[in-house]
Structure formats: C-alpha cells, structure tokens
Amino acid sequence: MKKIICLLAVVLMIASVVYAAPKIKITAKDLPSLKGTWEGILSFGAMEQGTSPVKLEILNDTVPVRAKLTITKVPDQLAQRLAITTGAGGQVVMESDEGALTTAGTIMFTGPQKNFLELTKTGDKKIGLWYYWMGLKGDADLKKK
C-alpha cells in the first residue's frame, strides 16, 4: 500500500511540473496592470478537498502592494478548525498592505506564524495564487474582471 501511495505521489509531482502554468515575472512596471479585481476558485488543498469562490482586489500600483482577499462559502468545519470567524454566507475577508516584489518575480504577502500568499502572473489578465495558512496549503487561478 505504501508503495502505491509513493508511486501516486511521484506521478502527481511529475504531472504538476509538466502541466504547470507558465510564469511571467512581475516587475514594478506591471503593477498598474495588476491593480483591480481578480476572481476565481480557491482550493483548500489535497487534505481538505474543497473549493470556494475567491475575489482578490489589488488596491494600488506601487510597492508595498495593498490587497484585499475575500473568500466566500468557507465550509463551517474548516472555519472552526482554523479558528476563523466567518460572516454571512461563510465569507472571510483578509487585508494586507505589505505585499513585496520578490527576486523570483512574484508578489509575496507574509503574515504571522510563517503564513504567506504569493501571486504569479500566468498570462494576460491571469494570475496564479498559492498560499500556506495555519497548516493549510492551496492555490487558485484568477482572471481579471
């Protein structure tokens, strides 16, 4: 059984490299085009096996980058496990004004307890998002509205 799980993990890792979206480095010149509202579906990772609609608002076009992340329909069990308070409809809103451009060409938002959210440009009017938050790892593909 362990061999099957290991083999499956290796196959998934190879597939993720092969099918990974191309990454385009983000520079300070790109920030004006990134400002605005982005929407998509957020994955809660392999262990949680769930998704929710997500909206990312990039509020300015200079460093440090300010952003507001709104996740709707967060499952009650997940919210309880992570000790987060949800609003109407399971909505969670997080804001940061500390987004930094990285040497890898991404925008990185960091928080307490080594939590982070990273943005990567994957195409014209498309960004990829991935995060680590309180032990939860997930991602999202967002399109500009």
The DSSP output letter for 62 is S
pLDDT at site 82: 81
Q: Which CATH architecture does the domain made up of 22-144 adopt?
A: Beta Barrel (2.40)
pLDDT at site 18: 45
> String of b and e for 94-132 (b: at least 16 CB within 10 Å)?
eebeebebeeeebbebeeeeeeebbbbbbeeebbbbbbb
Contact between 135 and 42 under an 8 Å Cβ cutoff? The reply is no
pLDDT per residue as tens digits for the range 48-107: 778 999 999 999 999 999 999 999 999 888 888 888 888 888 899 999 999 999 999 999
Domain map (residue ranges) of the chain:
22-144
Put simply, whether the predicted model's pTM sits higher than 0.85 gets the answer no
